[in-house]
Structure formats: C-alpha cells, structure tokens
Amino acid sequence: MLQKHRGELFLLAGALLFSFNGIVSKLVLTSSLSALNLAQVRSTGAFIILFLLIFFRSREKLRVTRKELPQLAFFGVIGIAAVQFLYFMAISRMHVSFALIIEFTAPIWIVLWIKYVKKRFVPTDMWIAIFLAFIGLLFIAQVWKGRTLDTIGLIAAFLDAIALSIYFLLGEKLTKTRDIQSLTFFGFAFATLAWLIILPIWKFPFEVFGERINMQGIFAGYDSYGWVLIVWIIVFGTIIPYLFVITGIKTLSASTSSVIGMLEPVLVGILAWWWLREAWLPLQILGGVLVLIGIYIADRARLQAR
C-alpha cells in the first residue's frame, strides 16, 4: 500500500514540511532578516550542504554535460530563484492571499500546456480536480474581503505561477535523465548564483545568526537563536522537502504533483491555528475540504491517463 502511493506520500510530506517552514520563516522575518535575504540564505545553505553530501558520497553525480547545463541553469534560476523572488515581489505589493491564489493557478497552466502544446490526453477529472482545489483556495484566502490590487504585484504573481509551472514541468523532464539529489543540487547551485548577483554577499545581515527570536503563539515563553531557526529552514524547510517534491514529480507527473501542492496553504492554515492561534472560519474549513477532494480526484485522474 505504501509503495503503491509512494509518490503521493512524498508530495504530502514535502507539503507538510514546506508549510511548517512557512511558520518558522514567519518567526525569522520578525528579526533583521528581509524576505529576500531569507530566500538567499535558504538557497546558499542548501547548495553548500548538498554539495558536501554528494562530493563525499558519490562525486560522479557532480558531472554535467554541456547539453544538460542550459536546462539545469533554467531549472535553478527560473524554477527556484525566480519563484521565490516573484512571490516576495507580489506579496510586497498586494495581499498575501491574492498572491497565493494566483501562484497556485500553476496547475491550470500545466494542464493547458500538456493538452494544447504537447497534444496529450488530459482526463476530464483533472479539470474537475483543479476547479475544486482552486475554489477551495479562494475560500481559504477569503479573497472577497475588499483587498486592493496592484498592477506590478499582479504581474509578478502571474509570472510566479508560470515560473512554478516551469519548475514542475522541467523537473518532470530532468528526472528522466538525472538522479534526484544531483538535480536538486544543481537547481540550488544556479539559484544561489542568481541570488549572489541580486544580493551581494557582503550586504547580508550576518548579525541575524546571533539574534534571539521569540517563538510566539503557544511557545511565546521561549526564544531561539537565529542560527538555529535558519539551520532548520535550510535542512527541514528547504533541502528535504525539495527532495521529496522532486521524488513525487518523478513518480507521478507534473500536473498531479502541482495539484497536490495546493495542499500547502491548507496545512499552513492548520499549523497557524495550532501554533499561532490564528482562527479558521467555517468557510475556510470548507475550502480545505474542497482542496482535499480536488487532490483525491487529481490522483485518480492520473491513473486514468496511464
């Protein structure tokens, strides 16, 4: 049973770790670290750790052909660095709920690409799954509550959705010729290079590592050093979930994996309710149920397409 649903389990575990990382990141962002610097330290830390692991265990995985290089660079710069950069740009100009909703239109663009560009069969149930999951996200975000839209923020959010689609599609393609660890490593290598160009390393606020950060919510009586939370973000909020998601994409497909990824905002809401005591309304709970139903239907649609 576990082997049969291996891909789903990896994606669910990845979504859970990404969601928990959202809460930890929220705590870290109360320090002197900006959102962009947090994205930079995530990529750089992941790059260094993955390099050391691969170098000492199986350094032959570090070999790359000239033909692979452009695709690996595109995967890292667009699929990892650009997704983070555009998301932060979007939430800096508009409400985070709108940014998330637009970002998670990625499954729609993926299915449209598969059907009209690749000319492959897409089961009707996949469209139903995407519709239900997307409506569920609208309920969770409560987008009707008088938010203001910003043109630049809107463009950034849609570009973010396209970049996320590229991450899933290119990830599915590259896992056919390269192992998961080295693919993730090269992705972060090129993402780190992109961040170094945008944010010079000498401008990084290194003092954050020594700061004491309050854990808030049910753990408000406790503080943690910045370096402890940042190490957690790098290992359990970046390296492991990215490896899980790439494994899921390789096992299932880009379209199914992207729909399962819609579970992330639901899990973030549940964790925020438990840890930070952020309340959930009945309609938001209904939204979470719709997302779960959509994911279930998407997984069944994947089996129909085979």
Residue 149 pLDDT grade (very low, low, confident, very high; cuts 50, 70, 90) = low
Assess if residue 1 is contained within a domain. no
As a whole number of Å, the CA-based R_g of the chain is 19
- With tokens 């390296």, the residue in question is 239
Mean pLDDT for the stretch of residues 283-302: 90
Contact residues for 114 (Cβ-Cβ < 8 A; gap 6+): 120, 122, 254, 255
**Residue 193 belongs to some domain of the structure:** yes
Give how many domains the chain has, as a whole number.
1
* Domain that residue 82 falls in: 6-305
Helix segments in 33-146, DSSP class H = 35-58, 68-76, 83-93, 96-103, 106-112, 124-141
Q: What number is the average pLDDT over the span 52-56?
A: 95
Which one-letter DSSP state was computed for residue 95?
-
Nearest in space to 199 (alpha carbons), one of 62, 70, 85: 85
- Of 68, 250, 257, give the one whose Cα is nearest residue 176: 250
Any domain includes 147: yes
pLDDT digits (tens, 9 = 90+) for 214-248: 999 999 999 999 999 999 999 999 999 999 999 99
Dmax over CA atoms of the chain, in Å, equals 57
Look at residue 268 and tell me whether its pLDDT is greater than 90: no
16: which 2 tokens?
């859970």
Confidence of residue 99 (pLDDT cuts 50, 70, 90): confident
Render pLDDT for 58-91 as a digit per residue (tens, 0 to 9): 999 999 998 999 999 999 999 999 999 998 888 8
Task: Identify the band that residue 204 occupies on the pLDDT scale cut at 50, 70 and 90.
Answer: very high
Per-residue model confidence (pLDDT) at position 64: 92
Structure tokens at 26: 């929220």
